[in-house]
Amino acid sequence: MKRILVMGAAGQIGSELVPALRAVYGVDSVVAADLCALSAMPDSLRVGPCEQIDILDIPKTVSVIKKYNIDTIYNLVALLSSVGETKPQLSWDINLGGLMNLLEISREHKLALFTPSSIGAFGPSTPPDNTPQDTIQRPTSMYGVTKVAGELLADYYHQKYGVDARGVRFPGIISNVTLPGGGTTDYAVQIYYDAIKKGSFVSNIGAGTYMDMMYMPDATRAAIEVMEADPAKLIHRNCFNVAAMSFDPEEIAASVKKAIPNFAMSYDVDEVRQAIANSWPNKMDDSAARDEWGWKHEYNLEKTTADMLSVLKQRYQ
Strand 72-75: give its sheet, edge to edge: 50-52, 30-34, 4-7, 72-75, 112-114, 164-166
| For the chain, counts of helices (H) and of strands (E) | 12, 16
In the list 15, 75, 81, 203, the residue contacting ligand SER (rule: CB under 6 A) is 81
Three-state SS string over 197-261 comes to HCCEEEECCCCCCCEEEEEHHHHHHHHHHHHHCCHHHCCCCCCEECCCEEECHHHHHHHHHHHCC
**204 lies in the site for ligand SER, by CB under 6 A:** no
Is residue 143 part of the annotated active site? The answer reads: yes
Binding-site member from 29, 184, 238, 241 for ligand SER (CB under 6 A): 184
- Binding of ligand SER at residue 120 (CB under 6 A)? yes
Distance between CA atoms of residues 104 and 120, nearest Å: 24
Contact residues for 108 (Cβ-Cβ < 8 A; gap 6+): none
Per CB under 6 A, which region of 43-51, 118-126, 190-198, 236-244 contacts ligand SER? 118-126
Using the rule CB under 6 A, is 118 a contact of ligand SER? yes
Query: Interface with ligand SER by CB under 6 A: which range of 3-11, 122-130, 151-159, 181-189?
Result: 181-189
> Closest distance between ligand SER and the C-beta of residue 79, in Å?
9
Q: In this complex, which beta carbon is closest to ligand SER, that of residue 49 or of residue 98?
A: 98
Separation of CA 167 from chain center: 10
Provide, rounded to whole angstroms, the least separation between the CB of residue 178 and ligand SER: 13
Q: CB-wise, 61 or 175, nearer to ligand SER? A: 175
Q: How far apart are CA 161 and CA 194, in angstroms?
A: 48
Does 137 participate in binding ligand SER (rule CB under 6 A)?
no
143: helix, strand or coil: helix
Rg (CA), the chain: 19
Round to the nearest angstrom and report the end-to-end CA distance of the chain: 41
User: What are the backbone dihedrals phi and psi of residue 191, each rounded to the nearest 5 degrees, phi first?
Assistant: -55, -40
Q: Out of 68, 143, 157, 299, pick the active-site residue.
A: 143
Q: Which is nearer to ligand SER, 118 or 204 (CB)?
A: 118
Segment interacting with ligand SER (CB under 6 A) among 52-60, 157-165, 182-190, 300-308: 182-190
Residues 222-251 within binding reach of ligand SER (CB under 6 A): none
Cα separation, 79 vs 143, whole angstroms: 7
Give residue number: closest CB to ligand SER: 183
In the complex, the smallest distance separating the C-beta of residue 109 from ligand SER, rounded to whole angstroms, is 28
In whole angstroms, the minimum distance from the beta carbon of 277 to ligand SER comes to 8
Which residue in the set 185, 204, 241, 279 belongs to the binding site for ligand SER (CB under 6 A)?
185
Q: Which is nearer to ligand SER, 42 or 120 (CB)?
A: 120
Give the nearer residue to ligand SER in terms of CB position, either 186 or 194: 186
State yes or no: residue 106 binds ligand SER (CB under 6 A). no
d(CA 212, CA 34): 27
State residue 203 phi and psi, 5-degree precision: -85, 135
Binding site for ligand SER (CB under 6 A): 80-81, 118-120, 143, 170, 172, 183-185
